[in-house]
A and B are shown apart, each in its own frame.
Chain A
Amino acid sequence: MRVVMVGLSHQTAPVELRERVALAGDALSAALDTIGDRYPGVEHVIVSTCNRTELYIARPAHEPPDGDALRALLAEVTGVPIDELTPATIQRENEQALSHLFRVASGLESMVLGEPQILGQLKRSYEEADARGAVGSVLHKVFQDGIAVAKRARHDTGIGEGRVSVGSVAVDYVRQVFDHFDNKTVVCVGAGEMAKLTLRHLTKLAPQRLWVANRSVERARELVEQLASKTDADSPPIGARSLDDLDTLLIEADIVVTSTGATDPVITRSRFKPLLRRRRGRPLVILDIAVPRDVEPTVGSLHDVYLYNIDDLQQVVRQTHDQRSDQIAACESLVREGVRSCLAQIQHRDIGQLIKALRRHMHDMGDAERQRTMRKLENAFPNGDRATIEAALDELTHRMVNKFLHMPLKRLDQRDPDAPMAFYASALRRLFGLEHDDDAPSASPDASRDPAPKPDASATDSADAPPERVEPEHANQTTRGDG
């Protein structure tokens, strides 16, 4: 059987298209049923999250549906025009399809590298397809192995840990100091772009109050409006204040973000120290993301003040990236190993079915010829010993069939990792017309290595498929899941 994946993700399609293609609830069930009705006997699973919609199928080699048919099907069930859908989709087959699925499950293809939600979403998709009878032995094996590999990858490598943007590192530092935010006040000094990005992360903590203080109150109001429009009803009250109120705000604040364009420090030790007593010993986290710095470094040595500047935050981002490269390599190694093992097991089962079918086919042919010869001999020797002749012919036929089959079957059964098993299997099926004889899963030729000529269009990535996937983007990662 061939495993084929056709789908789109955040790497190939904008969110507007992904939203329209996403399938959930009844729509997902209906789509699964449509595929099952249209292509009976084809195993299929649809993985649909807000960041990807992918259709996985397992079907006999050289049989429909091919990639184009799957795209058309996806267009039909989602209602998105095929011309719009096609450029945003990718197609993977066999080893590449398995590798893609395993990478998705492990979080290697997620917007936030290693995020854990995708594994649960994948499981639910698989269970939904299974509940509707759409999953057979091949996709059972593929999805179960994919989930197992993903669990191991997360457990062994810690791929989901660490933060890769300044804003998320800032949030992590804040969460190391505070536990509850419903009684905390965030003060942002300055209204620049960096401040906005960091505040977007901090608003997710749902603090009690958020103030933006700026020399120009108008500018502060603009930022407040932008933040308010991006946050939901449960978000904290956000207000604009003048920089003249800074001392009052520093007394009230639990978290301070500074991002002004001032050339001299805005918060100096001499200014802040007298305020400490009025803060009554409450801890204060200061995130100074301005260059040049807005907070005198000596402020950080005051009691219960935790000061981090942009270099401190970027240092953590760099450390995470360094750790990530090792984790990604370890994760990819596990995925490769898992794909190889899964393919080998599918292939082994497939070869077994092929051998059985070939043997049955040859013996059927031998039996037919034996009966024909028997009739001729009966006509030529009407008084001959029928039983003896029949036994001799029977033995001859079986011996010849077995001798003919011995070498090819031996080669097929060797499980030599270097042998082009997929090629052998494919050739035997074609040469002996066994495509429809063995209804069990067949060999899974590696599309990228298969030396055989591609028997149909589905054996290749479609010509109009979009370019290969791009590397996951980590520049602006959030704590969002895959969907």
Chain B
Amino acid sequence: MDLTTLILIALTIAAGVASVLGLKRLKGEPAGGSVGRWQRGLIWLCTLGAGALFVYRAVWVHDVWQPLHAHIDGLLLIAPLLGATVLYLQHPSRIPGVGVFAGPMLVLILAWAICASAWTLKLFDIDSVWKAIHLASVYLGTLLFAMAAVAGVMFLYAQRRLRSKAAPVTPSPEGGRRFASLESIETLIIRTSALGFGLLSLGLVTGLVIVSQEQTRLGPGWWYSPKVVLAAAVWLIFALVMNVRHTASFRGSRAAWLSITGMALLLATMAIAINLPDLATPTPPTGGGP
């Protein structure tokens, strides 16, 4: 087992512990308590660790400045960005409590990175600027849709609490709230969906340019291949989510469910894209890292 995989396993465990601690916080630990500090500390660790690993692989392992060398690099790009976003949003004046729900997403991304490093490593064939833009926009779009899905789960949880008439999560002694309001969670869903939609649109356009310029793995019937169909479905879903405040029928929990569904479809699309025959370059697998 190579060093990258070992580090990824350690980071996945740290993210898992952070998720468990987050669940414990939901049960009512006083704000500013030790569990919260540990949880934040572990998210910091995962963020910095994954970021350092990304830079290390980009600069030293591949010996050329090519950040997205393989699928694992894409996952290593979005894991620290997700962690940093969560740390930023978790401030009491923004979206307190988001770390609890983002923890499992971080675990998922890191665990996927382990698989991509240890078993399914395939190198990308980035021979044009279109492919570079395509990959970057798809991975960054995935990050934003992941945040939207996290916010969706958070919205459903908060709404369930309100519907069950559980005691409201009250302000902490420091003045901050321990859990965000439905309105601010919905705003997060809409904003991340809008940004992700833009990036995914860019990814789709560059993808069209790529298939029109060269013979791709998708073949002549590329437009009805599962990858393209699912990607278009994701695109449509997030187009809807970013406009829920203008479409009365899709507000609230429906927007939350849509963001979760969109993320699930996006994951399926990526899984199909990664596993399609001849998707990657003919370069044989060479191991996940140093």
Contact = CB atoms under 8 A, between A and B. Distances in A.
Given A161-B170, A175-B168, A304 B251 contact: yes
Interface in A153-185: 154-163, 169, 172-173, 175-180
Interface in A276-300: 277, 279-283, 300
A283 B30 contact: no
B175 A116 contact: yes
Interface centre among B158, B177, B183 (most CB of A within 10 A): B183
A478 interface: no
B interface secondary structure, majority:
loop
Contacts of A279: 248
A173 B252 contact: no
B183 A179 contact: yes
A180 B183 contact: yes
Interface stretch (B115-123, B159-167, B275-283): B159-167
Contacts of B41: none
Interface string B1-44: 00000000000000000000000000000111100000000000
A155 B30 contact: yes
A320 B167 contact: yes
A306 B163 contact: yes
A319 B168 CA distance: 11
B173 A177 contact: no
Contacts of B30: 155-158, 161
Contacts of A461: none
Contact of A178 (B169, B183, B247, B248): B183
A176 B158 CA distance: 8
A316 interface: yes
Interface in A288-325: 300, 303-304, 306, 308, 312, 315-316, 319-320
A308 B164 CA distance: 10
Nearest to B172: A161
A420 B114 CA distance: 69
A353 to B, nearest CB: 39
Contact of A177 (B33, B174, B177, B183): B183
B184 interface: yes
A114 interface: yes
Contacts of A163: 168, 170
Contacts of B252: 281, 283, 303-304
B155 to A, nearest CB: 11
B181 interface: yes
Contact of B170 (A159, A162, A180): A162
Given A281-B251, A304-B251, A154 B183 contact: no
Interface string A441-467: 000000000000000000000000000
Contacts of B181: 175-179
A116 B31 CA distance: 13
A114 B30 CA distance: 13
B162 A306 contact: yes
Interface centre among B30, B173, B174, B251 (most CB of A within 10 A): B173
B251 A173 contact: no
A312 B158 CA distance: 17
Nearest to B255: A281
B162 A177 contact: yes
B213 interface: no
Nearest to B186: A283
A346 B184 CA distance: 52
Interface in A225-280: 277, 279-280
Interface in A354-401: none
Contacts of B177: 175
B101 interface: no
Nearest to B184: A179
Contact of A161 (B173, B179, B184, B250): B173
B182 interface: yes
Interface centre among B158, B162, B169, B172 (most CB of A within 10 A): B162
Nearest to B159: A306
B85 interface: no
Nearest to A312: B165
A312 B169 CA distance: 15
B249 interface: yes
Given A281-B251, A304-B252, A154 B173 contact: yes
Nearest to B247: A281
A5 to B, nearest CB: 25
Contacts of A172: 168, 170
B187 interface: yes
Nearest to A313: B165
A478 to B, nearest CB: 13
A283 B32 contact: no
Nearest to A306: B162
B123 to A, nearest CB: 45
Contact of B248 (A176, A277, A316): A277
Contacts of A319: 167
A180 B179 CA distance: 15
B259 to A, nearest CB: 16
A428 B112 CA distance: 78
B150 to A, nearest CB: 18
Nearest to A159: B173
Contact of A308 (B161, B165, B174, B180): B165
A183 B248 CA distance: 18
Nearest to A114: B173
A282 B250 CA distance: 10
A281 B250 contact: yes
Interface string A42-80: 000000000000000000000000000000000000000
Contacts of A156: 30
18 contacts: A116-B174, A154-B173, A155-B30, A156-B30, A158-B30, A161-B172, A175-B181, A177-B183, A178-B182, A179-B180, A180-B183, A281-B247, A281-B248, A281-B249, A281-B251, A283-B182, A304-B251, A306-B162
Given A158-B173, A281-B249, 11 more contacts: A160-B172, A161-B31, A176-B182, A177-B181, A177-B183, A277-B248, A281-B250, A283-B182, A304-B252, A315-B165, A320-B167
Closest 9 CB pairs of A and B: A158-B30, A281-B251, A160-B173, A172-B168, A280-B248, A281-B248, A179-B184, A179-B183, A179-B181
